[in-house]
Amino acid sequence: MIDPAVPQFFVSGEGDVWSPSLVGVVRVSYSDAKLGVDEVRDVVVTTPIGDGAVPVDWELAEPAPFTAHDLQKTTDGAFPFAPVPAPATQPRRYAQWQKDLARWAAQSQSVELLRSAQAGLVSHADETERDFRIRVQDTVREARDAAVAKARQKYATKLAAAEDRVRRAEDAVAREQEQASESKVQAGVSIVATIAGALLGRKVISTSTLGRATTAARGVSRVGRQSQDVARAESSLTVLRERRDEIAADLERELREVAASFDSASEAFERIVLKPKRGAVAIQLMALLWSRR
């Protein structure tokens, strides 16, 4: 028989004997304004009970394989109970053990957090490194996509203007080539007409023959000038195309740099140990625990 003032709970197990120990449920708060951490964590631990001078030592506590919700206040009594150490039958002992539990939790229940400098994130108290890395990669991916969109937008106006200049230069080359082609035809016709007139006319040299010869000569000269115009237009087009390609290359280079700067797959996270601050430990439960072993 145990004094009714002693709190008791039961948790099922695989054994066929109810064995006694102590269970403690501690709510620990972690906060750090600089890190943006403000979390609460419930810790459930068990520790053995002895008959010596120090019957309960929370330094021997181990994480419980169950949660506080698994604790039951009654049992069907189908299995025998192991003897209870004498100190655990004394209600006054539990108040001191509870104080010891709070002191132990304040000193031992620090939490290791991970910090990503690239994403500016800190892991949660119970978050695994794998889950944290996935969350970091999602955040970094969103930032990378935004940076890529910004880079494309920055170059969009430059590329559009360069493409427009190239298009107008291509039109100019086409016009110059067409005009040069027409001039060549006209000059050829003038030359043929002059030669035919000179051969078929009664006089070897006449006023009309000289006029046609002069016109033909001017046509040849015009063909030469327009050929130079075509060459200048083509040279200008080449320069504009090169400038357009340089802008496109600058964009591709910046996009590669953006992608490289947001590579979080191999980031080495900073490890931060965060201890509970004073007053951040609250005992939710401390009781005699019966578990089947």
Q: How would residue 201 be classed by pLDDT, with cut points 50, 70 and 90?
A: low
Counting every residue, how long is the chain?
Answer: 293
Range(s) of the domain holding residue 284: 8-110+275-292
- Residue 115: predicted pLDDT: 94
* Structure-block tokens of residue 19: 């064995």
Q: Are residues 178 and 255 in the same domain?
A: yes
Main-chain phi, psi angles of 174, to 5 degrees = -65, -40
What's the number of domains the chain is made of?
A: 2
**Do residues 222 and 283 share a domain?**
no
Residue 115 lies in a domain: no
Q: Are 130 and 118 in contact (CB under 8 A)?
A: no
Tokens found for residue 205: 């040299």
What's the CA gap between 247 and 240, in Å, rounded?
11
Give the helix ranges, DSSP H, for the chain.
Answer: 91-108, 129-200, 207-261
Q: Are 13 and 106 part of one and the same domain?
A: yes
Give residue 223's identity as a one-letter amino acid code: V
Question: Is 130 inside any structural domain?
Answer: no
Residue 273: the pLDDT is 92
- pTM for this prediction: 0.60
Q: Is residue 39 part of a domain?
A: yes
Is the same domain home to 25 and 49?
A: yes
Give the rounded percent of residues in the chain with a pLDDT score beyond 70.
83
Q: Is residue 131 part of a domain?
A: no
The verdict on 145 and 256 lying in the same domain is yes
pLDDT band at residue 228 using 50, 70 and 90 as cut-offs? confident
User: Which residues touch 201 (CB under 8 Å, ≥6 apart)?
Assistant: 208, 209
Quick: pLDDT tens for 38-83: 989 999 999 999 988 899 999 999 999 999 999 999 886 688 999 9
Q: Please compute the mean of the pLDDT values over residues 161-165 and round it to a whole number.
A: 89
Task: List, for residues 80-131, the tens digit of each pLDDT value.
Answer: 999 999 999 999 999 999 999 999 999 999 989 999 998 889 998 888 999 9
Residue 22 CA to residue 6 CA, distance in Å, equals 11
Average pLDDT of the segment spanning 200-211: 52
Does the residue 126 lie in any domain? no
Judgement on whether residues 146 and 248 belong to the same structural domain of the protein? yes
Give the pLDDT score at 176: 74
Which of 11-25, 147-161, 171-185 holds the top average pLDDT? 11-25
Which is more confidently placed, 86 or 215?
86
The winner for highest mean pLDDT among 97-101, 154-158, 160-164, 212-216 is 97-101
180 burial type by CB count under 10 A (0-12 exposed, 13-18 middle, 19+ buried): buried
User: In the predicted model, is pLDDT for residue 211 greater than 70?
Assistant: no
Q: Residue 255: pLDDT above 70?
A: yes
Distances (CA, A) of 43 to 105, 108, 253, 292: 9, 11, 51, 21
pLDDT at site 186: 57
Residue 139: name the closest of 118, 114, 108, 167 by CA. 118
Summarize pLDDT for 268-293 with one digit per residue, the tens: 899 999 999 888 999 999 999 999 98
Looking at the structure, tell me whether residues 145 and 257 fall in a common domain.
yes
Q: Give the pLDDT band of residue 224 (cuts 50, 70, 90).
A: low
Say if CB 22 and CB 47 are below 8 A apart.
yes
* pLDDT band at residue 215 using 50, 70 and 90 as cut-offs: low
Q: Which residue has the higher pLDDT, 78 or 10?
A: 10
Domain-embedded: residue 70: yes
- What is the structure's pLDDT at 135? 93
Average pLDDT over residues 19-40: 92
Q: What is the separation, in whole angstroms, between the first and last Cα of the chain?
A: 20
Q: Comparing 124 with 263, which gets the higher pLDDT?
A: 124
3-state secondary structure of 211: helix
Would 22 be classed as within a structural domain?
yes
Same domain assignment for residues 254 and 215: yes
- pLDDT score of 216 more than 50: no
Q: Which two tokens stand for residue 181?
A: 């082609």
Same domain, 233 and 279: no
**Buried b / exposed e across 89-126, counting CB within 10 Å, b at 16+?**
eeeebbeebbebbbebbbeebebebbbbebbebbbbee
pLDDT computed for residue 258 by the predictor = 81
Predicted local confidence at residue 206, as pLDDT: 53
Domain co-membership, 158 together with 184:
yes
Q: Is residue 121 part of a domain?
A: no
Mapping DSSP to helix (H, G, I), strand (E, B) and coil, where does residue 60 land? helix
The gap from C-alpha 137 to its chain's centroid, in whole angstroms, comes to 4
Same domain for 84 and 39?
yes
Do 210 and 246 share a domain, yes or no?
A: yes
The number of C-alpha atoms within 13 Å of 106 and in the hemisphere containing its C-beta is 13
What burial class does residue 72 get, using C-beta atoms within 10 Å of its C-beta: 0-12 exposed, 13-18 middle, 19+ buried? exposed
**Contacts with 254 (C-beta within 8 Å, 6 or more apart), sequence order:** 151, 155
pLDDT-based confidence at residue 199 (cuts at 50, 70, 90): low
